Chain A
C-alpha cells in the first residue's frame, strides 16, 4: 500500500476525522481554523484543478510549449501554503500552481513562462515571496537554504514572535531527493540551523521512474540521517498538510532548526504534456489514488459539516469562470519584444550585449520597407 504505518492524517479517506494518540497536536494546530477557512481551502483546490485542466487543454491546442499538471496534489499544496505566514518565503519546484494561487500569484504568469514569453514570469517581491519556478530538479533547494541562512544572519527569526519571525518553505519532489543539491541543501540547513521546512511532495513518479527506484527507504526516514525532525503525512489530506506545515514552520522560525515533511500524494496523469503515463503507470495504483482524491475527500467532509449545496455549485461556477478567463487572457498575450533577448543578462553595461543588440536591431531594420 502506498501509505505506511507512519503516515499521519486528520481526515480519513472516507472524509471523516480520525483521532488517535499520534495526531492530537495536529488537531490543536487546526483548532483556530473556521468553517470559512475550510470553504476557502475547498474553493482554491477546486479552482486550481479546473485551471489546470484548462491549461492542459490549451497546451494541446498549441497555446503553450508545455504544461505541467498538478492534478491530484492540490491537498498537499493548499494546506501547506495556507499554513505559511505573510513574512515567509516559498521556493517552489515547478508544479506548485495551487500554492502559487494561495500566495496571490496570477496564474497567467505561469502560463507566460510555459508559453515561451519569459524565462521567469514574476517578481517574488510582488507575489508575497513566492519565488520563481526552477526546472532543474533540486537546484532551488540550495537557494532556499541560502535564503534561510540570510534570515538567520539578519536575526529575523528565533525571537519567539510567530507573527514576525521569518521562515522558508521549499517544495520538491521524490525525484529531487536523489539530487546532490537537495542533499547538500539539507546538510547546509542542519549545519547552520536554518529556519526552513523541506516539503517533499512524494507523487510517486519522476516522469516514468517510480519512487522505489529513487529510494529503498521511506523518504521521510532519510531526514533522520541528517538529524532533522521529519514526519510522513497523507498529502491528500488538506488539513494534515496545513497542520504539519504550521507546526513545522513555527518550530523552524522559533529557532528549532530545519524540519522535513514527506507528503504522500499522487500525480494523477502525466509528468508534463510531453509524456504518456499509460506506458508506465499501473491501473490499480492509479485507481487507488483516484479514490483518494484530496478534493473529493474534503467535499465529503464539508458535506458532513452541513455546508449547503449552493456553496459547491458556486465554487464550480467560479472555477468555470476562472478557466474561461484564463483562456481569454492567453489568447490575448502578445509575444515579447526583441530587446528582451538582451535585457537583464547583466545589470550593468556590457559591451558584447550592447553590440549584439545593436546588430540585431540594424539587421531586422534592414528588412523594413524602404531600407
Chain B
C-alpha cells in the first residue's frame, strides 16, 4: 500500500505543477515509512519539502501556500504527533473556506499514518479519526486496500476542500492489485468488501482485514457476513449501510479507536434514527478501550480481533 500511495502522489504531482508534498524527513529519506521515497529526486526540494520539526508549522504554512495557489500534501509522521497541528487544522484550516466566504479554496491534504498492529512505542499507534470527523469543514477518508490508497490520494488532492487522509500503517506492506482506472467507489462512498446476508459489519482501515478474517470464520459456522469498508469517515456513506441492513437487520461496527464519542458511535446513533424498524438488534460497537493506547505488548488485547467481532455478531444474532 505504501507504494500505491507513492504512485498516487507521483501521478498527482505529474498532473498538476501546484501539487507539492511537505513534512518531516520526507525528502532524501522518503519518510519514515518511505511513502514519499524517490519523489524529491524526481520533483526537487521545492515540491518535496523537508520541513523543520514542527507540526503546527507544517499545516500553518500549508494554509499560506494554498492561498498562493498551491495544493500542499502534508505528511504528519505519526498519528500521535498530529496534536501540535490540531489548532491549525481545526481552528484555522477547517474554517478557512467559510471565513473567506468561498472566495478562496484550501485544497490541502493531511496524510496521517494511524492505528496499531505494529508493536510500536507510545504515541505511534493511535486512531484519532473522531476528532477530525467531528470538525465541520474537513473531509476524512481512509483506504483499506492498495487500489483505494492509490485512487483516494489522487481524489483527495483534486478535491478543493481540506482532506484528512488516514493511512492504516499496518497495511503499508500489504500487496494488492491496483487497477489503472478509477473503478468502484469514489471518494465519499463506502465499498462492499464482502457480500453477505445475515449480519452487516462496518469498519475502516486496517480493521477491514480483521473483518474479512471474522467473516471467513463466520462462514464456516454458517453465518453470512456482509462487510462494508467505510472508506469515508466524514461524510459517512449511509446509503450503503442502510441498504445492507435492510437486508440483514443486524449491524456491528468495528474500529480500533476508543469507543466514546467515536465514528462507530455516530453510525449507531444514525442507524437508530434511520433504520429503527428494520433492525432486529441494537447496533453493537467493537472498539478499542477507553484508555490510552496500551504498551504494545498488550495491544492484541486492546485492538478488536476476529473473535471479539464474532462475539458481537453472536450477541446481535441472539436478540
Q: Which residues of A contact B (CB under 8 A)?
A: 118-120, 123-125, 131-132, 134, 136, 139, 141-154, 180-181, 184-185, 187-188, 191, 343-348, 350-352
Contact with A along B116-134 (1 / 0, CB 8 A): 0000000000000000000
Task: Please name all residues of chain A whose beta carbon is closer than 8 Å to the beta carbon of B206 when the two chains form the complex.
Answer: none
- Closest B residue to A351 by beta carbon equals B235
Q: Contact at A347–B61, with CB atoms within 8 Å? A: no
Task: Please name all residues of chain A whose beta carbon is closer than 8 Å to the beta carbon of B70 when the two chains form the complex.
Answer: 150, 153
CA distance A62 to B91 in the complex (A): 28
Task: Please name all residues of chain A whose beta carbon is closer than 8 Å to the beta carbon of B139 when the two chains form the complex.
Answer: 346, 350
CA distance A181 to B98 in the complex (A): 22
A139 with B60, Cβ < 8 A, contacts A191-B52, A344-B97 known: yes
Q: Contact at B101–A143, with CB atoms within 8 Å? A: no
- Count of chain A to chain B residue pairs whose CB atoms are closer than 8 Å in the complex: 137
CA distance A123 to B105 in the complex (A): 12
Task: Please name all residues of chain B whose beta carbon is closer than 8 Å to the beta carbon of A187 when the two chains form the complex.
Answer: 52, 54, 57
> Does B19 sit within 8 A of A, measured CB to CB?
no
CA distance A142 to B22 in the complex (A): 14
Partner of B64 from the list A132, A143, A347, A351 (CB cut-off 8 Å) is: A143
Q: Contact at A153–B64, with CB atoms within 8 Å? A: no
Partner of A145 from the list B61, B102, B235 (CB cut-off 8 Å) is: B61
CA distance A153 to B137 in the complex (A): 28
> Does B299 sit within 8 A of A, measured CB to CB?
no
Q: Contact at A346–B87, with CB atoms within 8 Å? A: no
Q: Contact at B64–A146, with CB atoms within 8 Å? A: yes
Distance to closest chain A CB from B270 (angstroms): 10
A146 with B65, Cβ < 8 A, contacts A185-B57, A345-B98, A347-B105 known: yes
Partner of A146 from the list B52, B60, B98, B102 (CB cut-off 8 Å) is: B60
> Does B100 sit within 8 A of A, measured CB to CB?
yes
Q: Contact at B100–A149, with CB atoms within 8 Å? A: no
With A139-B91, A149-B64, A344-B102 already in contact, 11 other A-B pairs whose C-beta atoms are closer than 8 Å: A119-B99, A132-B100, A142-B59, A143-B60, A143-B92, A146-B67, A147-B65, A150-B67, A181-B87, A346-B139, A346-B161
Partner of A181 from the list B52, B88, B188 (CB cut-off 8 Å) is: B88
* Residue count of chain B within 8 Å CB distance of chain A: 43
A and B contact pairs by CB, cutoff 8 A, 29 listed: A118-B101, A119-B98, A132-B99, A136-B87, A136-B91, A136-B92, A139-B88, A142-B60, A142-B61, A142-B63, A142-B88, A143-B64, A143-B67, A146-B61, A146-B64, A149-B64, A149-B65, A149-B68, A150-B70, A154-B68, A184-B52, A184-B56, A188-B57, A188-B61, A344-B97, A345-B98, A345-B137, A346-B97, A351-B188
Q: Contact at B65–A150, with CB atoms within 8 Å? A: yes
Distance to closest chain A CB from B70 (angstroms): 6
CA distance A64 to B254 in the complex (A): 48
Interface centre among A119, A131, A136, A147 (most CB of B within 10 A): A147
Distance to closest chain A CB from B257 (angstroms): 20
- Closest B residue to A136 by beta carbon equals B91
Partner of B57 from the list A123, A147, A184 (CB cut-off 8 Å) is: A184
Distance to closest chain B CB from A358 (angstroms): 15
CA distance A341 to B136 in the complex (A): 12
CA distance A123 to B100 in the complex (A): 6
- Closest A residue to B68 by beta carbon equals A150
Q: Contact at B56–A142, with CB atoms within 8 Å? A: yes
Q: Contact at B161–A348, with CB atoms within 8 Å? A: yes
CA distance A119 to B137 in the complex (A): 14
Q: Contact at B101–A123, with CB atoms within 8 Å? A: yes
CA distance A134 to B67 in the complex (A): 15
Q: Contact at A188–B68, with CB atoms within 8 Å? A: no
- Closest A residue to B50 by beta carbon equals A191
Q: Contact at A188–B102, with CB atoms within 8 Å? A: no
> Does B213 sit within 8 A of A, measured CB to CB?
no
Q: Contact at A343–B101, with CB atoms within 8 Å? A: yes
> Does B292 sit within 8 A of A, measured CB to CB?
no
> Does B209 sit within 8 A of A, measured CB to CB?
no
Distance to closest chain B CB from A272 (angstroms): 19
Task: Please name all residues of chain A whose beta carbon is closer than 8 Å to the beta carbon of B52 when the two chains form the complex.
Answer: 184, 187-188, 191
CA distance A142 to B56 in the complex (A): 8
> Does B62 sit within 8 A of A, measured CB to CB?
yes
Contact with A along B78-118 (1 / 0, CB 8 A): 00000010011001100101111111110000000000000
> Does B295 sit within 8 A of A, measured CB to CB?
no
